[in-house]
Amino acid sequence: MTAVESRPAGIIGTSQSPSRRPIGARVKAFVALTKPRIIELLLITTVPVMFLAEQGVPDLGLVLLTCIGGFLSAGGANALNMYIDRDIDALMDRTSQRPLVTGMVSPRECLAFGITLAVVSTLLFGLTVNWLSAWLSLGALLFYVVVYTMILKRRTSQNIVWGGIAGCMPVLIGWTAVTNSLTWAPVILFLVIFFWTPPHYWPLSMKVKDDYARVGVPMLPVMASNKVVAKQIVIYSWVMVAVSLLLTPLGYTGWLYTAVALGAGCWWLWEAHALQNRAKAEVTGAKLKEMRLFHWSITYVSLLFVAVAVDPFLR
C-alpha cells in the first residue's frame, strides 16, 4: 500500500457535519477553495495588459467585469483542483489545512461549487465582455483541471512546465477583453509567463520536496538533484528575460518598460545564478536559500506588469 493509499480521500478532521459548522467559518472555507492568493497573481497579469491594449485607461466597467470573471473562473479551477487532489492534500504538510482535509467543506460541496463557478464565469465573460474571452477563460480552466491536475501532475516531472500554460491565459484574456482579437503583444507576454512559471515554482518545490515525495508527485526537485534543478531554473530564466525584451523592438512598449524589464531581469538572473552556485556547492537546508528566488519572482512579475500598464502613458 502506497502512502497515498494509506488514508482515505477527503480526510475529515472531525465527525461534525460540514453544514453544522459556524456560517462565518464556512464562508471562509469556500473562499479558501478558490486560492485567492494565487488569483491575485493572475489579476496582476490581466489588468495591466488591458491598459496596454487600450494604450491608455480602458473602460473601468470592463476591467471590473473582467476581474470578476477571471476570479470566478480561476476560483472554480482551484476548487476542482482541490477536489481531485484531496487524497494527497491530506498527506502533505503544506496542504493539511485545506477545507476538504479539515472537513469544513464536503467533497460533494466542493465539486458543485467548482462547477458552478466555471459555468457562471463563462456566461459572465460571454454575455458582458465577449465570447472570445469566455472561451479562453473556459479553456484555461479545463487545461488546469484536466491536463495539469488529472494527467500531468502525478505522471511527469515536466508537470509544472506544461501545466503552467493555464496560468498564462489571463494575459490573453485581458487583451481580448479590450480588443476582441489577438496580436503579438499578448502572445509575447504569454510566453514571458510561460517561461517564468517553472523558475517561480521550482524553488518552492525544492523547499517542500519531501512533501511531494511522500505522496508520489514527481515534481522536478523530487526526481533530480538540486544542481540539475538549479541549472534548469537558470536556463528558463535567461529565456524569460530575453522574451520579455521583445515587446520594445516590435513597437508595443517604450523606454519605461524596457528599463524595468532590463533592471528586474538582471536582478532575477543574479538570484538564479546565485542559487545555482549554492546548489553546485551542494549546500542544503536553510543555506540553500531557494525561497529567495521564489519571493523575488513574485516581485519581478509585479514590477514588469506595472511597467506594462504605465508605459503607454509615457510614450
Extract the C-alpha cell encoding 110.
466542493
pLDDT digits (tens, 9 = 90+) for 133-177: 999 999 999 999 999 999 999 999 999 999 999 999 999 999 999
CATH topology of domain 183-315: Four Helix Bundle (Hemerythrin (Met), subunit A) (1.20.120)
Q: Which residue has the higher pLDDT, 14 or 64?
A: 64
Statement: residue 117 has pLDDT above 50: yes
> Where is average pLDDT lowest: 187-196, 208-217, 279-288?
279-288
Average model confidence (pLDDT) for the chain? 92
User: Among 1-10, 108-117, 153-162, which is the least confidently predicted range?
Assistant: 1-10
Check whether 4 has a pLDDT greater than 70: no
Eight-state DSSP code of residue 247? T
End-to-end CA distance of the chain: 63
Average pLDDT on 173-198 reads 98
Residue 144: φ, ψ to 5°: -65, -45
Q: How confident is the model at residue 19 (pLDDT cuts 50, 70, 90)?
A: low
User: Which pLDDT does position 162 carry in this prediction?
Assistant: 95
Does residue 121 have a pLDDT over 90? yes
Cell representation of residue 111? 465539486
How big, in percent rounded to 5, are the helix, strand and coil portions of the chain? 80, 0, 20
Q: What pLDDT, on the 0 to 100 scale, is given for residue 17?
A: 65
pLDDT at residue 3 in the model: 41
pLDDT value at residue 14? 47
Q: What are the cell numbers at 248?
A: 520594445
- Tens of pLDDT, residues 257-266: 999 999 999 9
**DSSP letter for each residue of 47-86:** HHHHHHHHTSPPPHHHHHHHHHHHHHHHHHHHHHHHHHTH
Continuous segment of H or E residues that includes residue 307: helix 291-310
DSSP 8-state symbol, 2? -
So where are the chain's domains?
A: 27-173, 183-315
- List, for residues 36-46, the tens digit of each pLDDT value: 988 888 899 99
pTM: 0.91
Whether domain 27-173 has CATH 1.10.357.140: the reply is yes
